[in-house]
Structure 1
Amino acid sequence: MSGVGKSSVVRELAVRGYKAVDTDDRWCAPLPDGRQMWREDAIQALLDVEDADVLFIAGCEENQAKFHAQFDHIVLLSAPLETLVERLATRTDNPYGKKPEEFRRFLDDVRTVEPLLRRIADHEVVTSMPVDDVVTTILRLVDV
């Protein structure tokens, strides 16, 4: 979900020496309705490259399910709605969620998409704790 801390987790994983990709950064193509989809050719090429022992991919798009069979673990990052709303309102590195129509879409995604993600996730990590603790938890869960 937007505001859950995906970008922060990716940055911290990279600092720790892991290959980590935030799919919001050049891995998606915009759709006419304002949403986006993973660029399937780019994501497949990313998955095909074997230049790291472990690859972390952060993102959530409707077509991600096409790649689930290639993932060893699916970790859902979540946070209480109040926390997500506050993060969207106060973040300065990503404008998504500040426009009323984007905020309505965000609320709808939390209500409808997050439960679907929860069902397919191998693990769930609540990102209310410091990002260092979130990353440590993720690494423990995926046995890295």
Structure 2
Amino acid sequence: MRHLPKHLRQRWRYLAVELETWPDASVDEDAFQRSLWFAAQNLVGDVGSVEADLRVVNFAFSGGDGRALLRTRRGNVALARAALACVDSVYDDPIRVTVRGVSGTVRAGEEKYLGGPREGTGQESVVFRNDSRRAVVRDDRVDVDIDGAFVGATRIDIT
């Protein structure tokens, strides 16, 4: 079977996405893909969801932080962004999804928007609500462990 000429091939756009959730959450590629499909389907229905054809191309997630590269058809970038805005949890774990940029190729998306160094993550003992507690620190954000659940804080909130 021969390839289609270049002017007849499907054109794609790639969305570079940053993910953030609590440090103890486990998010994998399949679960994120499923949440993305459900969000698109609930937003624009079956026909609109198929038209956008959202797919996870590249995915990396660990310790509450992650990055993904999503593929959508050219002309449906606004719909893809709207569907991403509707993703608020993956398997009951709340998640923040941020679009870092849009590119025309996988390579450009990875190099331009996902190529920078990741934030440093570490664990510290902090004082929060007049008690010493374990916390996961990511730059200026601090997730304090209180009885098995995390509370978001900043450096100003802890002493």
The interval holding the TM-score normalised by the smaller chain is under 0.3
Larger relative strand fraction: 2
Higher relative contact order (CA 8 A, sep 6+): 1
Larger relative helix fraction: 1
Which structure is larger by alpha-carbon Rg, 1 or 2? 2
Q: How high is the TM-score relative to the length of structure 1?
A: 0.27
Q: How high is the TM-score relative to the length of structure 2?
A: 0.26
